[in-house]
Structure 1
Amino acid sequence: MRLIGNVLWFILGGLVMGLAWWLVGVVAFITIVGIPWGRACFVMGNFSFFPFGKEAINRKELTTRGDIGTSGFGMLGNIIWFLLAGFWLAVGHVFSAIACFITIIGIPFAIQHLKLAGIALFPIGNTVVSKEVARAARAANAQAQVNTLRQR
């Protein structure tokens, strides 16, 4: 089912938005200063090409360790990103979602566009993994929190 969803997605809009992510990534790389944002653009662009069966997750939630992208610098980077490119990529995903919502069969694609619009606003500190890995990471974090609460 994921394969069919990804193929239909790619043909009916994923290609355009994935290329938009890559275009922003190329511009970011050209500026040299924007390389961290460009890297995130290519990761999210690949995700935008074939999103079904994958999920964006915060790296701190995944690895239980912080890094520069999940720190205050990452927040600052996300603010700069939002002002320069994130808003416009999110608008593109929202318009794509509206176009998909018009047809009943396109509703699952519209929902995916809205998820990608949210990611487009603040992508720094996130990574893309399979849904199973994201689910396992969240379950492990929840279990660790339960163990911590039981020890009190």
Structure 2
Amino acid sequence: MKVIEFVLNVIWLIFCGIWMAIAYTVAGIICCVLIVTIPFGVASFRIAGFILWPFGRTTVEKPGAGAASCVGNVIWLIFAGWWLAIAHLVTSIPLFLSIIGIPFGWANLKMIPISLMPLGREVVATDKAWGAR
């Protein structure tokens, strides 16, 4: 199973992972430069790592996330989330045009919710996701 995850991650990295990770990194750098939005930058860097190598990992809700995460997600959605979601949508289109890229296109679309509301979530290994709920 680990070999399959590795192969899927390498293919993902080549076709869209590197570009999407760069987009999240740029968003994180902008957020860190603005100082007040450093928590958003940290979340963006965390997601960039997930986007870079997603197979074998997933996101789950943090147990202690509360109202601050909700408010932060609304702010994130307005200023950064929408254009990252559009980037996922745009990068999924060429993947859908090839037979081999269809599963990667679906994976890209499944990442739109985390791009819209990243706060209050954490990245965990897929096999540990069931225990985190």
Shared fold (TM-score, shorter chain, > 0.5) = yes
Q: 2:30 aligns with which of 27, 30, 38?
A: 27
1:137 Cα shift? 2.3
C-alpha distance in structure 2 between counterparts of 1:137 and 1:74, whole Å: 18
C-alpha distance in structure 1 between counterparts of 2:132 and 2:59, whole Å: 12
Q: Which protein is richer in helix relative to its size?
A: 1
Q: Is 2:85 the counterpart of 1:57?
A: no
Moved over 3 A (4+): none
Considering only CA atoms, is the larger Rg found in Structure 1 or Structure 2?
A: 1
Q: 1:96 aligns with which of 66, 91, 103?
A: 91
State the TM-score, normalizing by the size of structure 1.
0.83
Match of 2:100, SS state, is: helix
C-alpha distance in structure 2 between counterparts of 1:42 and 1:111, whole Å: 22
Instruction: Give the corresponding residue for 2:17.
Output: 14
Q: Is 2:51 the counterpart of 1:48?
A: yes
1:111 Cα shift? 1.3
Match of 1:123, SS state, is: coil
Question: Could you tell me which amino acid in structure 1 is paired with residue 5 of structure 2?
Answer: R
- 1:109-148 equivalence runs, <5 A: 109-138=104-133
Q: Aligned residue pairs: how many?
A: 130
- Give ranges in structure 2 of 5+ residues lacking alignment: none
Q: Is 2:67 the counterpart of 1:72?
A: yes
RMSD in angstroms over aligned alpha carbons? 0.8
Q: 1:108 aligns with which of 103, 106, 110?
A: 103
Q: Report percent identity of matched pairs.
A: 38
1:136 Cα shift? 2.2
